[in-house]
């Protein structure tokens, strides 16, 4: 009996091994290597000498560095505000798409488009829309009489970050919409009917039926979005390159510059690790959510 | 009366959503078919006086001194890298997902692989750079294919495991009793049942690779391996002479993913829920 179990165990590992080996080589090993690098003064372009061990110096420097701190706050602002707005718009649009009206299916397809648009194309598209000389946004706002002349949205530190956030929100609220809509569609209609017959108000119906049904998928969507927004790089790179005057320099961009523009691999690695530690908190929350969902799922089955 | 107001509000909201989605994308298209003189006119007339589709022709031609050379190479690289990485990952992910689904007790590994998929790429990029450098794989398609496996593999494994979980097991067990080996059961019984989902999962993985920018930016340097996102970013970074041309490249690069997304509408949600976010 035991040998059968052992054989099963062996089979399981054999099936799993190729995937695990690839993952260890491409993720676990580089991660450990980055941790090691972060304690050295390694340069990106090797001078042939072995990098020197500097201990916690890179980390201490980062924590006290005003540039690093401001990019951290900028990233948090970007993340919290974008994701909050994505959550609100996402839920509202999902509620709309759950109503019955002519053209609903058409609109459901339309909402998928921003999500499917390649990230870089999205960034480039907004860059062109915000163009100071012939962007559609300047033309539209001027013709509506909202602004009196063309502005350089991405060229001024006051508006650049918010312009980038608009691009991010436009592209990503559909993710929230799709996940929430799936949950809304699984609510049986007669629940609402019964509530109506009982004389429950619209607010009460939302509170007692709709909200409990969407809270799970919504939290999954928001955590996913938070992790992604925290890592934001592509949009920044194409729309503003971190400028003007560092006003859109987020953490990822900061790490990228340290490693690949200033060629300081050691401190770049330390910044990357600090960022990873912050991300790890979010990832843990996501994993707990998934774990709980699965537990509930298997409880439903048996 | 109240019902009427509700209906009007519903349609107004729907109109607002439709316009907000279509407007920025339409502008991209209009830019790609308008002359620069039409675009800089103030007040803007929105529609071009002369519809001009020549930019698309120039992008699709391999004639010398045309932007087509750059674009078509990038398109080829994107197709090869995304497809290559997806095929390799399918071969690795299918047995792994089958193992997670049919043998209990190794879920920790599954969650670990999903967790590491979400770690910012900056945490891996330096060692991967040195690794590719060491094997002379910088600026090559195989180099990118290898790196992309780290993105697609955990995602595909997770998605396929969820699918295998929903398949009936009694046929498999009967086949095992008849003396079929594990891999025979997987190939002859499980995979044919999972076929429709395999395609969808593969396309999702393919989209991840098609969209990836960070690694592609750092690990490629010219048309030998540059993918479309890097080429587009390069266009926008240079003092480009013609923004309409960039817009046209953007439109062309968006065609495959938009079609795939519309086609996959039904499976989209389950895919997204399993962590298919795009950074």
Q: Is A53 helix (H, G, I), strand (E, B) or coil?
A: strand
Beta carbons of B123 and A275 less than 8 Å apart:
yes
Q: What is the pLDDT of residues A246-279, one digit of tens each?
A: 999 999 999 999 999 999 999 999 999 999 999 9
Asked if residue B209 has pLDDT above 50, the reply is yes
Once rounded to an integer, what is the mean pLDDT over residues A138-151?
A: 87
pLDDT band at B272, cuts 50/70/90? low
Average pLDDT along chain B: 88
Once rounded to an integer, what is the mean pLDDT over residues A158-187?
A: 94
Once rounded to an integer, what is the mean pLDDT over residues B247-265?
A: 92
Whether omega before B43 lies within 30 degrees of 0, making that bond cis, reads: yes
Name the percent of chain B lying above pLDDT 90.
Answer: 57
Name the percent of chain B lying above pLDDT 70.
Answer: 94
CA–CA gap between residue B274 and residue B267 (Å, rounded): 11
A residues 37-76 closer than 8 Å to B (CB)? 37, 44
What are the CA-CA distances from residue B194 to residues B100, B166, B204 (Å)? Answer: 15, 10, 15
pLDDT band at B238, cuts 50/70/90? low
Asked if residue B239 has pLDDT above 60, the reply is no
pLDDT band at B51, cuts 50/70/90? confident
Interface size A-B, in CB pairs within 8 Å, comes to 279
Average pLDDT along chain A: 91
The 8 Å CB, 24+ separation contacts for B181-189 are B182/A11, B182/A15, B183/B95, B186/B94, B186/B95, B186/B98
- Which of A27, A171, A232, A269 is best to mutate for the B interface (most B CBs within 10 A)? A27
pLDDT band at A82, cuts 50/70/90? very high
Beta carbons of A18 and B257 less than 8 Å apart:
no
pLDDT band at A236, cuts 50/70/90? very high
CA–CA gap between residue B55 and residue B67 (Å, rounded): 9
Q: CB distance from B10 to chain A under 8 Å? A: yes
Name the percent of chain A lying above pLDDT 90.
Answer: 68
Q: CB distance from A120 to chain B under 8 Å? A: yes
B-chain CB neighbours of A120 within 8 Å are 211, 213, 228-229, 232-233, 253
Asked if residue A80 has pLDDT above 90, the reply is yes
pLDDT of residue A1: 56
B-chain CB neighbours of A181 within 8 Å are 269
Q: What is the pLDDT of residues A28-76, one digit of tens each?
A: 999 999 999 999 999 888 666 678 899 899 999 999 999 999 999 999 9
pLDDT of residue B273: 59
Least confident of A91-95, B79-83, B166-170: B166-170
pLDDT band at B274, cuts 50/70/90? low
Once rounded to an integer, what is the mean pLDDT over residues A150-175?
A: 94
pLDDT of residue A300: 47
B-chain CB neighbours of A13 within 8 Å are 99
Once rounded to an integer, what is the mean pLDDT over residues A154-169?
A: 95
Nearest CA in chain B to A230: B120
B residues 153-212 closer than 8 Å to A (CB)? 153-154, 157, 182, 207, 210-211
Q: What is the pLDDT of residues A180-210, one digit of tens each?
A: 999 998 898 888 889 989 888 888 888 889 9
| DSSP string covering A20-44 | HHHHIIIIIHHHHHHHHHTTB---S
pLDDT of residue B277: 44
Beta carbons of A30 and B243 less than 8 Å apart:
no
pLDDT of residue B279: 36
Q: What is the pTM of this model?
A: 0.91
Asked if residue B66 has pLDDT above 80, the reply is no
3-state secondary structure chain B: CHHHHHHHHHHHHHHHHHHHHHHHHHHHHHHHCCCHHHHCCCCCCCCCCCCCCHHHHHHCCCCCCCCHHHHHHHHHHHHHHHHHHHHHHHHHHHHHHHHHHHCCCCHHHHHHHHHHHCCCHHHCHHHHHHHHHHCCCCCCHHHHHHHHHHHHHHHHHHHHHHHHHHCCCHHHHHHHHCCCCHHHHHHHHHHHHHHHHHHHHHHHHHHHHHHCCHHHHHHCCCCCCCCHHHHHHHHHHCCCCCHHHHHHHHHHHHHHHHHHHHHCHHHHHHHHHCCCCCC
Asked if residue B196 has pLDDT above 90, the reply is no
pLDDT of residue A302: 33
Once rounded to an integer, what is the mean pLDDT over residues A137-163?
A: 90
Q: CB distance from B124 to chain A under 8 Å? A: yes
Once rounded to an integer, what is the mean pLDDT over residues B109-130?
A: 93
pLDDT of residue A81: 97
Beta carbons of B232 and A121 less than 8 Å apart:
yes
Q: Is A228 within 8 Å of A175 (Cβ atoms)?
A: no
Q: What is the pLDDT of residues B91-103, one digit of tens each?
A: 999 999 999 999 9
Once rounded to an integer, what is the mean pLDDT over residues B193-198?
A: 86
């Amino acid at each position: 009996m035991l040998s059968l179990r052992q054989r099963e165990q062996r089979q399981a590992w054999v099936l799993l091994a190729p995937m695990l080996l690839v993952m260890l080589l491409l993720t676990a090993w580089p991660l450990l290597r980055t941790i090691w690098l972060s304690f050295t003064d390694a340069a990106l372009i090797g001078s042939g000498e072995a990098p020197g061990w500097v201990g916690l110096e890179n980390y201490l420097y980062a924590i006290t560095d005003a540039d690093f701190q401001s990019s951290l706050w900028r990233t948090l602002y970007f993340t919290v505000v974008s994701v909050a707005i994505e959550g609100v718009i996402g839920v509202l649009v999902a509620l709309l798409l759950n109503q019955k009206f002519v053209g609903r299916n058409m609109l459901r397809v339309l909402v998928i488009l921003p999500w499917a648009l390649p990230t870089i194309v999205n960034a480039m598209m907004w860059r062109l829309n915000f163009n100071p000389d012939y962007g559609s946004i300047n033309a539209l706002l001027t013709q509506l009489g909202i602004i009196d002349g063309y502005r350089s949205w991405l060229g001024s530190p006051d508006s650049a970050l918010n312009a980038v956030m608009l691009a991010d929100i436009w592209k990503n609220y559909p993710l929230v919409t799709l996940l929430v809509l799936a949950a809304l569609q699984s609510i049986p209609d007669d629940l609402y009917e019964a509530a109506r017959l009982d004389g429950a108000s619209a607010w009460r119906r939302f509170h007692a039926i709709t909200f409990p049904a969407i809270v799970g998928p919504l939290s999954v969507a928001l955590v996913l979005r938070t992790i992604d927004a925290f890592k934001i790089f592509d949009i920044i790179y194409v729309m503003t390159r971190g400028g003007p005057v560092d006003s859109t320099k987020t953490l990822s961009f900061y790490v990228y510059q340290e490693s690949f523009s200033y060629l300081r691999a050691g401190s770049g690695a330390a910044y990357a690790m600090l960022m990873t530690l912050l991300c790890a908190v979010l990832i843990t929350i996501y994993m707990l959510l998934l774990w709980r969902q699965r537990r509930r799922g298997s409880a439903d089955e048996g | 009366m109240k019902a009427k107001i509700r209906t009007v509000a519903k349609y107004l909201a729907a109109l607002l959503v439709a316009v907000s989605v279509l407007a920025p994308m339409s502008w991209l298209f209009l830019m790609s078919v308008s002359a620069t003189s039409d675009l800089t006119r103030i007040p803007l007339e929105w529609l071009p006086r002369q519809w001009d589709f020549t930019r698309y022709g120039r992008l699709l031609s391999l004639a010398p001194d045309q932007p087509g050379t750059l674009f078509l190479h990038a398109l080829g690289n994107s197709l090869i890298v995304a497809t290559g990485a997806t095929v390799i990952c399918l071969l690795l992910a299918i047995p792994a997902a089958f193992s997670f689904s049919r043998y209990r007790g190794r879920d920790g590994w599954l969650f670990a692989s999903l967790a590491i998929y979400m770690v910012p790429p900056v945490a891996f990029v330096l060692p991967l750079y040195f690794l590719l450098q060491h094997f002379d794989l910088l600026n090559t398609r195989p180099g990118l294919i290898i790196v992309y496996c780290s993105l697609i593999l955990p995602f595909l494994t997770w998605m396929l495991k969820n699918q295998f979980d929903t398949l009936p097991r009694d046929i498999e067990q009967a086949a095992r009793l008849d003396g079929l080996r594990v891999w025979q059961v997987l190939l002859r019984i499980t995979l044919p049942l999972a076929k429709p989902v395999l395609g969808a999962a593969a396309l999702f993985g393919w989209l991840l690779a098609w969209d990836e920018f960070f690694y592609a930016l750092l690990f490629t340097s010219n048309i030998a391996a540059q993918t479309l996102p890097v080429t587009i970013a390069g266009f926008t970074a240079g003092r480009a002479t013609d923004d309409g041309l960039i817009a046209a490249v953007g439109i062309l690069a968006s065609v495959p993913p938009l079609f795939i997304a519309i086609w996959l509408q039904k499976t989209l949600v389950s895919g997204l829920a399993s962590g298919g976010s795009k950074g």
